[in-house]
Every structure is written in C-alpha cells, then in structure tokens.
Structure 1
Amino acid sequence: MNPVGGGGGASVQQVIAMRDAMLEKSRLLKELQQGQQAQSPVPTDAPAQGGGFGDSLKDALSSVNDAQQRSSAATEAYARGETQDVAKVMLARQEAGVAFEATLQVRNKLLSAYQEIMRMGV
C-alpha cells in the first residue's frame, strides 16, 4: 500500500496549478468586464474569432464531465478493492468538485449578465 504522501505529489501540483489557472482566468474576466464598462459598445458586424463562445463552453463542460467520470471510476475501483491508494481517489473527487464549483460560478455570472442585459433599456 502506498503512503498517503507518496506518488500523489504530481497530482496535487496539478490541482494547485488548475486552481491557480482558474483564479487567473477569473481575474482576467473581471478586468475585461471593467474595461468593457468603460469603453463604448463593440460593433456587431465584427467577425467572430476562433471557435466561438458556444464551442468554448461545450469544451469546458466536457472537461468537467470527464473529471466527474474519472472521480466516479476511481471511487468505484476503490470500493471494489481494485486500488488501495486513497489519496488518488480523494484527489480525483476534489478535482471534480473544484471543476463543478467553477462551472457553477461561471453559470451564475452568465445568468447575472443575462439578467442585467434584459434590464437594459434600448
């Protein structure tokens, strides 16, 4: 049986790096939102760059779903006795929880933005 601290260091570092990336993206989104409030509206005839918002959202939701499936598979493998590494199971569950929580926060921000747009007078 592996000790709790052994072999899981890279996974913990990955979770920390993912958390830092989410915090950085959140900070950038806040800066972007503040910058857009200070600027005039963007012309609507500008061509879309890249895959678009819908594709980005779909990719993000897919990665959250993958994290939840990995978590579920790790939990089931531990319950069946196929793995003895509790640290990896708990790390997978935490990763899925953080990913879901981040998705929930994005949904809340999108809903808030939608409600604000609906309150605007045209």
Structure 2
Amino acid sequence: MDIKAAALISEMQAIKGEMQPPTPPNSIAPQQDFSALLTQAVNNVNGLQQDTDALRTRFELGDDAVSLEQVMIAAQKSSIAFDATVQVRNKVVDAYKTIMNMPV
C-alpha cells in the first residue's frame, strides 16, 4: 500500500511541476505550436495504451510482480485518455465544419 501511495504522490508532484502560473494580463504568453501539442497528446495516449497492453500481457503470463489492480487502473487511465482524445478530435472537426460553412 505504501508503494502505491508513494507512486501516486510522486505522480501528483510531477503534474504540479508541469503546471504554469497564470500570466499577467499585460505580459505576452509564449507561443506554442498546436500541432506539436496535439502530437504530444496523441503520443501520450499511445504510450498509456502500450503500457496497459504490456501490463495485461505480463499479468496473463502469471508475473507475480503485476497485480490485477495495476492492470485495471492502467486500463482505465488509457480508456479515459483515449475518450478525451476522441472528444477533442470531434470538437476540432465540428469547429472546422462551422468555419467552412461560414458565408464569405
């Protein structure tokens, strides 16, 4: 139980470190390439799915180091990430259709 709690705490600290403070209204925010952000997000989802598949395979082969809880948590993480990616894609496609249907 302590190992899981330590892993969760370290993951939360990593997320905290990635968060950026809000920029003041008068300062210019750094430009980020949308395609790079999208590529990174898709690669993260793909990595989660590959990790889940690896854990699932190890569990099915009888590896004692992998518990059913780890497999189920990894499966839920990858499922939620994939669903969020599909929703973002749908919103982008809807926005594109809306823009293309605007009269010029």
Fold match (TM-score > 0.5): yes
Percent sequence identity over aligned pairs: 35
C-alpha separation between the residues in 2 aligned to 1:74 and 1:62? 18
Of the three residues 45, 50, 53, the one matched with 1:72 is 53
C-alpha separation between the residues in 2 aligned to 1:54 and 1:118? 20
Which structure has the higher relative contact order (CA within 8 Å, separation 6+)? Answer: 1
State the TM-score, normalizing by the size of structure 1: 0.61
Q: Would the aligned equivalents of 1:64 and 1:96 in 2 still touch at CA under 8 Å?
A: yes
In the alignment, structure 2 segments of 5+ residues that lack a partner are 16-29
C-alpha separation between the residues in 1 aligned to 2:38 and 2:58? 30
The structure 1 segments of at least 4 consecutive aligned residues displaced by more than 2 Å after TM superposition are 6-15
C-alpha distance 84-65 of structure 1, shift in aligned 2 (>3 A): closer
Q: Which residue of 2 is the match for residue 61 of structure 1? A: 42
The CA RMSD over aligned residues, in Å, is 2.3
Q: Secondary structure at the match of 1:121?
A: coil
C-alpha separation between the residues in 2 aligned to 1:10 and 1:89? 18
Q: CA deviation at 1:8?
A: 3.7
C-alpha separation between the residues in 1 aligned to 2:82 and 2:73? 14
Q: Which residue of 1 is the match for residue 80 of structure 2? A: 98
Q: CA deviation at 1:65?
A: 0.3
Equivalenced residue count is: 85
In the alignment, structure 1 segments of 5+ residues that lack a partner are 1-5, 19-47
Of the three residues 56, 62, 76, the one matched with 1:81 is 62
